[in-house]
Amino acid sequence: MNKVGFFRSIQLKFIIIYILLLLVAIQVIGSFFTRELEDELINSFEDSVNSRVDLMGYNLEQAFDREREDDDEGPTLLEEIQNIVSDVDTADITNLQVINSQSRILGTNDVFSQDEVGKKTTREMVQSALFLDEQQENTVVDGETGNRVYVQAVPLFDDEDNVAGVIYLEASLEGVYDQLQNINEIFLRGSILAIVVSAFIGILVARTITKPISEMRSQAQTMAKGDFTQKVNVYSKDEIGQLADTFNDLNSRLKHSYSTIEEERRKLSSVLSNMSDGVISTDGTGAVTLMNETAGRLIGRNPEDIIGAYLLDVIPLEDKIVDISQLQDNGSMIIDFSDEEQYFLIRAEFSTVFDDEDEVTGFITVITDVTEQERIDQERREFVSNVSHELRTPLTTMKSYMEALTDGAWQDKEIAPKFLSVTQNETERMIRMVNDLLQLSKMDTKDHALQMERTDFVRYFHEVIDRFDMNKPEHVILQRQLPKSALEVWLDKDKMTQVLDNVISNAIKYSPEGGVIRLKVEKQRHHLLVSVQDQGLGIAYDKLEKIFERFYRADKARTRNLGGTGLGLAISKEIIEAQHGRIWAKSKEGKGTTILFTLPLMNEKRRGYY
């Protein structure tokens, strides 16, 4: 996580808010103070002007009321009015005029306007004061200088309360506003100083508040990385201090919860990694969120590449379901992953994950390789079918002959012995079949012990061939290709004799008139190779592996006529593999069949086999 800069930090926000609040307070106070001060100064100015006007008005009214004779040597009205005007303090009054009731100017304080004395004035304010008998006042702006001017017209009354004249004056307000501006400048400098001091104090206060928060932020980043060893310092007992205490408690709880979750995660990961079944987890939309290695191996895809993919694209279910929601109704199904080279089946079992409100949040798919199981099931079904078929044929034959004997054929001295002979042969055939099945059952359950002994295989093989030479049909020739030197092996002679009897008997059965059976032993690096080759009809290439399966016959009709059970080569394979060898067949149709098997040589064999 990137570090927060000062200009984006909460500390700067605290300072700005603190200063803004102070500015607002100063602005409100300044506005109120300026307005009140302006009103106070203007009122004071107007009171000062009015007090002088009142004094001057009293003197002027006395002058207007005084009776003058023609021969009076005293000052005239104009002189007396001019003297009164001249005696008035006109420091702020820029224009002062005394006007009689006929609107004539009788006196003025402006030396440059003395020529206006005796002339009439047309000022609207003067006329209003004369005719309305009321004082008129206003504040105007001088059009030439731009200065603010206080204008006043005060009526003068005689003894009979008639308007005797008007005092008209113009007083400049610039002095008032200059004073107000000076006060505002002083207030502004004080405000700036207060803001600077407040900003410094705000930085200290904000740092005091934000330092614990910054530490908690750093600790939160550390916790996000999985480190719960550090604690936040507690500087006070206020709300921030209580928050720090709570944060430390949260850190401890998260540490415990994280440890528990991590332990469970490791267990789950170990379970998933070591499961023989594949597990695929998806969200509610069917997107893959988890897949273990076993599932990846089963479907032939890298689990890391599958994350986020759609489940129906990972497992071919299009022919069975078209929408992921249908998985809720499909508990288990077999999916065929077979191709031209390999037969491969997997079983997929689906389960639905619900939340507290019974809404679907995901699906769990468990896949298992059931190829071998299906093959075994198929073989078991075929085995049961074959056993039933093999037993039904002799039983049906026996039943037919027994019914014929029961119906009176036993009295016929020529037919009865033949029927009894057939019944006996079928009985012996079933006994051989049952014995072979029992032997295979013991081999499957490992319930048989091999009587291993040191044996010269060449001499032993000659003895077996000699026995066949004495009883073989005349149309078959046994040709030996055996080495003269001894080849010693460890083997169970009885079991090996059963193998050789099966293989050589089959070769004799399927050999044509004058056929040659080659019996050969070769010494190879670690083992000896035994082969029995006939010149019979041969076996198709795609059926060679099947001749070692139980009850399989390349030529079923002929084998049954010759009395075979279809279990001889299956038993031979079990015996050879039990003695650490391998057996297989080679054949071409019309050119005969060769059965080959190997046995480990004694001097090359591992000590554990002795």
Q: What is the DSSP string of 473-501?
A: -TTEEEEEE--SS--EEEE-HHHHHHHHH
Intra-chain end-to-end CA distance of the chain, in Å: 69
Are 505 and 545 within 8 A, CB to CB?
Answer: no
Task: Name the band, by pLDDT with cuts 50, 70 and 90, for residue 445.
Answer: low
pLDDT tens, position by position, 155-182: 888 777 788 888 888 888 888 888 888 8
Of 266-270, 407-411, 493-497, 538-542, which has the strongest mean pLDDT?
493-497
Q: Of the given ranges (7-16, 192-201, 274-283, 358-367), which has the lowest mean pLDDT?
A: 7-16
* Distance from C-alpha of 561 to C-alpha of 587, rounded to nearest angstrom: 22
Tokens of 130: 């004369």
Mean of the pLDDT values across residues 341-350? Answer: 78
Mean of the pLDDT values across residues 229-240? Answer: 76
* Distance from C-alpha of 342 to C-alpha of 323, rounded to nearest angstrom: 29
Q: In three state form, how does the secondary structure of 404-436 look?
A: HHHCCHHHCCCHHHHHHHHHHHHHHHHHHHHHH
Residue 474 pLDDT greater than 90, yes or no: no
Q: Of the given ranges (82-91, 380-389, 559-568), which has the lowest mean pLDDT?
A: 559-568
Nearest CA to 240 out of 201, 197, 211 is that of: 211
Q: What pLDDT score does 518 carry?
A: 92
Tokens of 280: 């695929």
Task: Name the band, by pLDDT with cuts 50, 70 and 90, for residue 329.
Answer: low
Q: What pLDDT score does 184 carry?
A: 85
Residue 501 pLDDT greater than 60, yes or no: yes
Residue 561 pLDDT greater than 80, yes or no: no
pLDDT tens, position by position, 577-597: 888 899 999 988 888 899 999
Mean of the pLDDT values across residues 348-353? Answer: 83
Angle of the 10-65 helix axis to the 174-224 helix axis, nearest 10: 170
Return the number of other C-beta atoms located less than 10 Å from residue 116's C-beta.
14
Tokens of 196: 């600077």
Q: What pLDDT score does 442 carry?
A: 66
- Kindly write down the DSSP assignment for every residue of 180-214, as one continuous string: HHHHHHHHHHHHHHHHHHHHHHHHHHHHHHHHHHH
- Which helix (H) or strand (E) segment holds residue 169: the answer is strand 163-172
* Distance from C-alpha of 254 to C-alpha of 220, rounded to nearest angstrom: 11
Q: In three state form, how does the secondary structure of 27-60 look?
A: HHHHHHHHHHHHHHHHHHHHHHHHHHHHHHHHHH
Mean of the pLDDT values across residues 59-66? Answer: 76
Mean of the pLDDT values across residues 111-122? Answer: 77
Residue 441 pLDDT greater than 70, yes or no: no
Q: What pLDDT score does 555 carry?
A: 54
Residue 193 pLDDT greater than 60, yes or no: yes
* Distance from C-alpha of 391 to C-alpha of 551, rounded to nearest angstrom: 12
Q: What pLDDT score does 239 carry?
A: 75
Nearest CA to 315 out of 298, 331, 329, 328 is that of: 298
Nearest CA to 55 out of 99, 85, 79, 95 is that of: 85
Q: Which of left, alpha, beta for 280 (phi over 0: left; psi -120 to 50: alpha)?
A: beta
**C-alpha distances in Å from residue 454, one per residue of 141, 460, 496, 600, 610:** 141, 11, 13, 12, 9
- Which helix (H) or strand (E) segment holds residue 532: the answer is strand 527-533
Mean pLDDT of the residues in the chain = 79
Nearest CA to 352 out of 426, 268, 253, 283 is that of: 283
Q: What pLDDT score does 481 carry?
A: 92
User: 566: number of CA atoms within 13 Å, CB side?
Assistant: 21
**C-alpha distances in Å from residue 548, one per residue of 126, 375, 429, 567, 600:** 143, 16, 20, 8, 21
Are 299 and 315 within 8 A, CB to CB?
Answer: yes
Strands (E), 273-385: 278-283, 288-291, 332-336, 345-354, 360-369
> Is the pTM for the entire model greater than 0.85?
no
Domains (ranges, CATH) in the chain?
11-179 (3.30.450.20), 275-369 (3.30.450.20), 375-444 (1.10.287.130), 453-609 (3.30.565.10)
> Which of the pair, 484 or 408, is modelled with greater confidence?
484
Are 583 and 596 within 8 A, CB to CB?
Answer: yes
Task: Name the band, by pLDDT with cuts 50, 70 and 90, for residue 432.
Answer: low
Q: Residues for the chain: how many in total?
A: 610
> Which of the pair, 200 or 391, is modelled with greater confidence?
200
Task: Name the band, by pLDDT with cuts 50, 70 and 90, for residue 482.
Answer: very high
Return the number of other C-beta atoms located less than 10 Å from residue 100's C-beta.
19
* Distance from C-alpha of 212 to C-alpha of 217, rounded to nearest angstrom: 9
Task: Name the band, by pLDDT with cuts 50, 70 and 90, for residue 609.
Answer: very low
* Distance from C-alpha of 223 to C-alpha of 216, rounded to nearest angstrom: 10
Burial class (CB in 10 A: 0-12, 13-18, 19+), 455: buried
Tokens of 532: 């029995």
* Distance from C-alpha of 557 to C-alpha of 67, rounded to nearest angstrom: 176
Mean of the pLDDT values across residues 482-490? Answer: 90
Q: What pLDDT score does 509 carry?
A: 86
Residue 529 pLDDT greater than 90, yes or no: yes
- Kindly write down the DSSP assignment for every residue of 83-137, as one continuous string: HHHHHS--SSEEEEEEEETTSBEEEES-GGGGGGTTSB---HHHHHHHHH-S-EE
Tokens of 40: 């106070």
Beta bridge partners of 595: 532, 585
Residue 37 pLDDT greater than 80, yes or no: yes
> 571 — phi, psi (to 5°)?
-65, -40
